[in-house]
């Protein structure tokens, strides 16, 4: 069911066709995206062997690599500090994307992985798939076969420094280095904080080797979750989960980063009044390089007459304008995602629309009553100045024990 708040026309028909892929538990669902009218139309779905964790398209757009596991917090809304369920079955499946319809078709056999995959990506030419793991923290590289399927693992020449609780792996646009974002863990009860870091590796034909560890303050009070690269400038933008911050690092000529951030910015509208459960989320650069977007998430609870309800906080997209000479971001907007806990969001390759995936259905207090805010996909128009206009929301039925864990936008070739 779609909840429509506003309508607006966006982009010329010459833009590439865009598909939206979203996971609900083990199901990967696809929607046709009408950019002109900013609408989504559900087309079909496939079911994976276990809950989808993350997915990434091949750079040429013919394949989608989907990582899945029966472990991990796929049904748990809390950001938490622990690794979640370990699970017993983990893998990555290759799907061929139909260039006419965007439909997914299983392609070849799925490949078994060592533990729960928390993130997956490809290198720049699409020669390898890289997988990050949170428990134990690690990263593997797998060759992409000539037919597009995931092949054998490329073993590194020496042990890699994978930090604590990897949460994302990204390949630098130069294809010469890889950054593993290791979140660490916040303190919990009697257990002290585990430090976070950005682990930088050299990268050549699938081979990783240790280069540097970026951990301001020894990694304490530094809990990075995701990063994105500036489109053409020498900057890397990093979201800090527990600190609710955006940081900017400069890339050095040796493909490492400055040891300290150039800039640190708040992501919240009220950074001095942070509610329990508030956390920074994923981050995406606008294709123009002029803007960057960061998710704020909260699903903390309180009791209301015996019912657990939302305790308050920010579920929003923070919008920053980027100084093209210095890389400094300036917060220009925080806009509500119209739902709870936007774990993922995406910007289309033309920079016309942004879609946020509110992960869970949640009870909220409404005066003396309680109502349910459903999980769903919130569609925003990206204006010329980078700010977002909310257009409409599509409620998503989850079913028992499931969440809207991942979504992404893919331009068809």
pLDDT in tens, 145-168: 999 999 999 999 999 999 999 999
Instruction: Evaluate whether 128 touches 143 at the Cβ level (below 8 Å).
Output: yes
- Strands 166-171, 150-153: parallel, antiparallel or unpaired by DSSP? unpaired
- Distance from the Cα of residue 394 to its chain's centroid: 19
CATH class of this structure's domain 2-411: mainly beta
Nearest to 296 by CA among 275, 271, 277, 315: 315
> What token pair was written down for 276?
């329990």
Residues 6+ apart with CB under 8 A from 233: 289, 324, 327
pLDDT for the residue 372: 95
Longest dimension (CA), the chain: 63
Whole-number Å distance between alpha carbons of 59 and 410: 10
Instruction: Evaluate whether 183 touches 241 at the Cβ level (below 8 Å).
Output: yes
pLDDT for the residue 53: 97
Q: What is the pLDDT of residues 356-388, one digit of tens each?
A: 999 999 999 999 999 999 999 999 999 999 999
> What token pair was written down for 166?
């990897």
pLDDT for the residue 84: 56
pLDDT for the residue 169: 98
- Average pLDDT for the chain: 93
- Three-state secondary structure call for residue 325: coil
Instruction: Evaluate whether 224 touches 267 at the Cβ level (below 8 Å).
Output: no
Whole-number Å distance between alpha carbons of 359 and 342: 6
Whole-number Å distance between alpha carbons of 387 and 321: 9
Nearest to 6 by CA among 340, 337, 395, 393: 393
Low-confidence ranges of the chain (pLDDT < 70): 1-15, 73-84
């Amino acid at each position: 069911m779609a909840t429509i708040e506003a309508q607006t026309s966006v982009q010329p028909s010459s833009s590439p066709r865009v598909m939206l892929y979203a996971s609900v538990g083990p199901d990967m669902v696809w929607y046709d995206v009408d950019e002109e009218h900013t609408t989504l139309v559900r087309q079909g779905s496939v079911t994976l062997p276990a809950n989808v964790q993350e997915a990434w398209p091949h750079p040429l757009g013919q394949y989608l690599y989907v990582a899945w596991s029966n472990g991990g917090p796929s049904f748990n809304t809390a950001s938490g500090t622990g690794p979640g369920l370990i699970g017993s079955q983990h893998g990555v499946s290759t799907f061929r994307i139909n260039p006419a319809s965007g439909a997914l078709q299983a392609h070849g056999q799925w490949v078994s992985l060592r533990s729960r995959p928390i993130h997956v990506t490809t290198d720049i030419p699409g020669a390898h798939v890289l997988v990050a793991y949170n428990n134990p923290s690690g990263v593997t590289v797998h060759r992409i076969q000539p037919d597009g399927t995931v092949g054998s693992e490329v073993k590194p020449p020496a042990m890699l420094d994978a930090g604590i609780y990897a949460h994302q792996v990204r390949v630098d646009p130069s294809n010469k280095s890889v950054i593993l974002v290791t979140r660490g863990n916040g303190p919990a009860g009697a257990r002290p904080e585990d430090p976070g870091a950005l682990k930088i590796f050299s990268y050549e034909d699938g081979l990783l080797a240790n280069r540097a560890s970026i951990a301001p303050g020894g990694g304490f009070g530094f809990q990075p979750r995701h990063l994105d690269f500036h489109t053409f400038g020498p900057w890397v933008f990093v979201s800090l989960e527990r600190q609710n911050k955006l940081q900017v690092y400069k890339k050095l000529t040796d493909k490492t980063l400055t040891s300290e951030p150039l800039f640190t910015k708040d992501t919240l509208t009220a950074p001095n009044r942070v509610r329990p459960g508030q956390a920074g989320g994923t981050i995406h650069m606008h294709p123009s390089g002029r803007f960057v977007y960061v998710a704020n998430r909260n699903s903390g609870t309180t009791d209301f007459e015996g019912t657990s309800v939302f305790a308050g906080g920010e579920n929003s997209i923070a919008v920053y304008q980027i100084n093209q000479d210095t890389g400094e971001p300036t917060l220009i907007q925080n806009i509500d995602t119209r739902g709870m806990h936007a774990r993922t969001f995406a910007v289309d390759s033309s920079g016309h629309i942004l879609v946020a995936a509110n992960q869970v259905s949640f009870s909220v207090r409404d005066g003396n009553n309680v109502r349910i805010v459903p999980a769903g996909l919130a569609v925003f128009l990206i204006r010329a100045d980078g700010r977002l206009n909310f257009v409409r929301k599509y409620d998503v039925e989850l079913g028992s024990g499931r969440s809207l864990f991942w979504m992404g936008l893919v331009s068809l070739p």
